[in-house]
Structure formats: C-alpha cells, structure tokens
Amino acid sequence: MAPPPPPPPPQAPRSTGRGLRGRRGPADQCTDDELMLRCGRGHTAALEELMGRHTGAAHRYAWRIFRDHHTAEDIVQEFFIKLFRNAARYQPRGHFTTYFYRVLANLCFDSLRKRKRRRKIQAVQLDPIEAEGTELEPLAHPDESDRRLRAHEAKDAVHAALVALPLHVREALELREFEGLRYREIAEVMDVSLNEVKVLLHRGRKLLARTLARTPVGREIRGEDPAPGGAL
C-alpha cells in the first residue's frame, strides 16, 4: 500500500486590511494618493501614516505664518481633521502636494483674515525685538556668536515685512520662496491664473525689498543671494 500523501503546507492568513495598524505595515508602502483613498474609506491608520509623513512640514508652514507655537499646533490639528473628513471627495491625480498646500494655506490665511477683521484698529505687525524669545526661536544669549544673532534679526525683519504685505501677495511669496512650489503649483493652490501668480510674486518681491530697505538688517543683506535655509 502506498504511503499517504504529505499534508499540504500551511497557508498564510488572508489579509483583512488590519495590517495598516502595524508600525511597518502596508501603509508604509502606499503613495500619498493611496493613503487619501484609504482615509476616504475610514482607515484611521492611513491618516496616522499621512501625519507621520507631513506633520513636520505642516507645522513649519503654520509656524512661519503665525510665529506662535500653540497656534501652529492648533492649525496642524485642524488641518489633518479636515483632510480626513474630506478624504472621500479627494480625486487622486498624483498632485497631493498641491492639495496639501491648498488646504493648509486656506486654513492659515482664513485665520489671518478673521484676526484682521477683529483687529481693524491694530495692524497685524510684529516688532522684531518682541519676536524674540518664542518657544522655537529662543533669545540669543550674550555669549553666542554675532552671526547667530544677526540670523535671528534677519528672520524677524523678513517676517515683519511679510506680515505687512496683502494676504494674497504674502501667500504667493510663502509658497514660492519658502516651500519651493512651481508657479503652476501655486496657481493651483491659490486657484488663480499663471499670470496672476507672476504678478503677485513680482509685486510681493518689490514691496518686500522696499520694506526691508528701510531696516538696518535690510540694508545689510540687500543685494545678497539668499542663503540655503535662510529667511529668503
């Protein structure tokens, strides 16, 4: 009598999609577009992966706009909540970066507009001296190098000049000079034409240079090429 055949090898368990919850699960291998589609189906783990990838960039953007640690945190939290709630309507076209900045910029600048409406008497301006000592950019100690102190002063001077710009102009400059978006991407984010983006950027750079030229820091850095990672 022939021996009985060997038992079949054990099969891998069928995937139920719960692997998304693992720290190194399938979500790590998804594109941002795919993660948004999963968010639209209610996968909170996909949202966690998006947050892990983009919280730093979102916080840096919000921090630069408001120069306030707690406000930036609130904006970022609201941003990801909005991203998750609207994910079912997201159209994956490989342009998550554009969508990311459109939602984030709208939140930031809508908040600024509300602040300006509440403070019609007081202009939203930032004194470069008072700007020091924040949580993310502490006051320079006397024993620190003069170069570091000047770098802080330059950032404060540029931020004060940006705050004084019309919001649409400032938004275009922020997206181009700080985030490095292309002109067409800025047009999509702001929902304006390519020519309008060029006009906004030209106007913004001219106004910014004029404002900075009246400051000691501006006179010092005028005509210099922007340093990598610097203010502009």
Name the domain boundary from 70, 103, 121.
121
Residue 146 counted as domain residue: yes
Q: Which positions ≥6 away from 165 have C-beta within 8 Å?
A: 173, 204, 207, 208
Query: Are residues 116 and 174 part of one domain?
Result: no
Tens of pLDDT, residues 137-150: 444 444 555 666 66
Name the domain boundary from 57, 88, 121.
121
Measure the CA–CA gap between 195 and 183, rounded to whole angstroms: 9
Long-range contacts of 179-183 (CB under 8 A, 24+ apart): 179/61, 179/101, 181/97, 181/98, 181/101
Task: Select the more confidently predicted residue: 3 or 205.
Answer: 205
Residue 194 counted as domain residue: yes
| Domain span including residue 54 | 27-121
**95: CATH:** 1.10.1740.10
- Residue 47 in this model has a pLDDT that exceeds 80: yes
Mean pLDDT of 32-50: 95
DSSP state of 17: S
Tens of pLDDT, residues 165-202: 999 999 999 999 999 999 999 999 999 999 999 999 99
Name the domain boundary from 78, 106, 121.
121
Residue 4 counted as domain residue: no
What Cα–Cα distance (Å) separates residue 57 from each residue in 11, 60, 171, 200, 231? 42, 5, 16, 24, 16
Query: 0.75 cut: is pTM over it?
Result: no
Measure the CA–CA gap between 181 and 173, rounded to whole angstroms: 10
Mean pLDDT of 209-227: 67
Torsion of CA 59, 61, 64, 67, to 10 degrees: -30
Average pLDDT of the chain to the nearest whole number: 77
- Half-sphere exposure of residue 81: CA atoms within 13 angstroms, side-chain side: 7
CA 66 to chain centre: 12
Mean pLDDT of 14-42: 68
Query: Are residues 195 and 108 part of one domain?
Result: no
- Number of domains the chain contains: 2
Residue 17 counted as domain residue: no
**140: CATH:** 1.10.10.10
